[in-house]
């Protein structure tokens, strides 16, 4: 009789294992996204630094670098055009204005 009232140990262990696996997958996904985000930040900051510091860089070359960095960012994070336009586009515009005195 006591056996009928006790939960099935195998059943509860299976549920716990599935929850742990899901948590592990979610943790791995978050870690990978953070890694991608850090790579994006490094790439964008390097592009900004080259635009600001390379005296031999032409406006056309800088524009191509910005376009290439945008393409790479959207490849890393598909569907995030709005986020790029809100975060990175103004920074690149400011860098171009300061470097080339564009109006």
Q: How far apart are CA 30 and CA 19, in angstroms?
A: 16
Q: pTM of the full predicted structure? A: 0.74
- Sorted by where each begins, the domain ranges of the chain are 10-100
- Residues for the chain: how many in total? 103
In this prediction, residues 26-44 reach a mean pLDDT of: 95
Q: Locate 99 and state its tokens.
A: 């470097």
Question: Does residue 32 register a pLDDT over 80?
Answer: yes
Question: In the chain, what's the furthest Cα-to-Cα distance?
Answer: 86
Average pLDDT, the chain: 88
| pLDDT of 29 above 70 | yes
Residue pLDDT, tens place only, 87-101: 999 999 999 999 998
Residue 12, both tokens: 């509860």
DSSP assigned state of 77: S
What's the CA gap between 102 and 94, in Å, rounded? Answer: 9
Q: Provide the pLDDT confidence category of residue 103 given band limits of 50, 70 and 90.
A: low
- Which residue, 34, 35, 24, 66, is CA-closest to 49? 66
3 confidence band (pLDDT: 50, 70, 90):
low
């Amino acid at each position: 009789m006591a056996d009928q009232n006790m939960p099935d140990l195998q059943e509860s262990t299976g549920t716990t294992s599935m929850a742990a696996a899901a948590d592990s997958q979610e943790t791995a996904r978050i870690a990978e996204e953070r890694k991608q985000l850090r790579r994006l930040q490094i790439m964008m900051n390097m592009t900004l630094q080259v635009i600001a510091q390379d005296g031999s860089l032409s406006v056309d070359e800088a524009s191509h670098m910005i376009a290439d960095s945008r393409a790479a960012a959207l490849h890393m994070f598909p569907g995030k055009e709005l986020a790029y336009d809100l975060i990175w586009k103004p920074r690149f515009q400011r860098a171009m204005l300061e470097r080339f005195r564009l109006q």
